[in-house]
Amino acid sequence: MTTRYDRAFDRLRQRGEGAFIPFLMLGDPDLATSARLLRAAVEGGADAIEVGIPFSDPIADGPTIQAAAVRALGAGVRPADCIELLGRFRAEAPEVPVGILTYANLVKHRDLKAFYASVAAAGVDSVLVADVPVRESEPYVAAARAVGVAPVLIAPLNASEATLQLLSERCAAYTYCVTRKGVTGADDQLSLSHGTLFETLRRFGAPPAILGFGISKPEHVRDALAAGAFGVISGSAVVQRVASNLGDPEAAARSVASFVREMKAATAR
């Protein structure tokens, strides 16, 4: 059975384009604004959307995304609210792939089966549990696959071939590759030397490589595609546009849509 990611990525290959995937923190600054921002991302031409569920200890997130989580938590946003919001968005955008990026404590709070069942019912396509390494991922992968959710895994920089082979067996939808070690955050310059990593992933039949961490400019998109990535995820640069327009949801939506449009234009190969 083909998935939304399969169909979206096939369309991109046919058009000779890479994927641009914006990240939004759900509930930042409130649920109503989040709903508008999800629509804005689609209006801007996003090929898929990655979302965060606000969490008190997001170890992979830099200050911009941490601040977004704090705002959402301060507004009283709960995981159940986020999943309900995604269910409504799915009804509005039936073909846009939606992935969640989250953390193990949040997933395990309800228990694995209950969490994955709830996101599957909302029409979520993938889940990446950012603090679960490849070798410890089996329970999450099994719970995701049991309900038709794609388990996305992070390919560590300097990972061994054995780790990348295991990732290729367990991962689905796409492979999250990072530009550098550390936490998320918009960078001015990227330093990419990922050719060997991308080639190894292709050799093992891993899902398409999507590059994240520090993607904030159209030239970053072009550099990532030239280095061999299938696409990019941009988080902090998107979330910063929300933070700059906290009192004006429509201005935030216009800013997000404009940024997505600009970044998407850079994916033409």
Burial per residue of 233-254, b for 16 or more beta-carbon CB atoms within 10 angstroms, e otherwise: bbbbbbbbbbbebeeebeebbb
What are the DSSP E strand ranges found in the chain?
19-25, 49-52, 98-102, 126-129, 150-152, 154-155, 175-178, 209-212, 231-234
Q: Which residues are catalytic?
A: 50, 61
Under CATH, domain 4-264 is a member of which superfamily? Answer: Aldolase class I (3.20.20.70)
Q: Distances from the Cα of 122 to the Cαs of 96, 186, 190, in angstroms? A: 13, 30, 36
Answer for the pair 116, 70: CB distance below 8 angstroms, yes or no. Answer: no
CB 231 within 8 A of CB 47: yes
Q: Of 124, 55, 64, 133, which is closest to residue 90 (Cα–Cα)?
A: 124
Please state, in angstroms and rounded to a whole number, the distance separating the CA atoms of residues 218 and 225: 11
pTM to 2 decimal places: 0.94
Query: Given strand 154-155, what is the order of strands in its sheet?
Result: 150-152, 126-129, 98-102, 49-52, 19-25, 231-234, 209-212, 175-178, 154-155
Residue type, 203: R
**Residue 124: which region, alpha, beta or left (left: phi > 0; alpha: psi -120 to 50)?**
beta
From first to last of its 269 residues, the chain has per-residue pLDDT tens of 799 999 999 999 999 999 999 999 999 999 999 999 999 999 999 999 999 999 887 666 789 999 999 999 999 999 999 999 999 999 999 999 999 999 999 999 889 999 999 999 999 999 999 999 999 999 999 999 999 999 999 998 888 999 999 999 999 999 999 985 544 444 455 555 677 899 999 999 999 999 998 899 999 999 999 999 999 999 999 999 999 999 999 999 999 999 999 999 999 98
- Residue 62 pLDDT: 82
Q: Among all chains, which residue has been given the structure tokens 């990419």?
A: 192
Provide the token pair at 45.
Answer: 């031409």
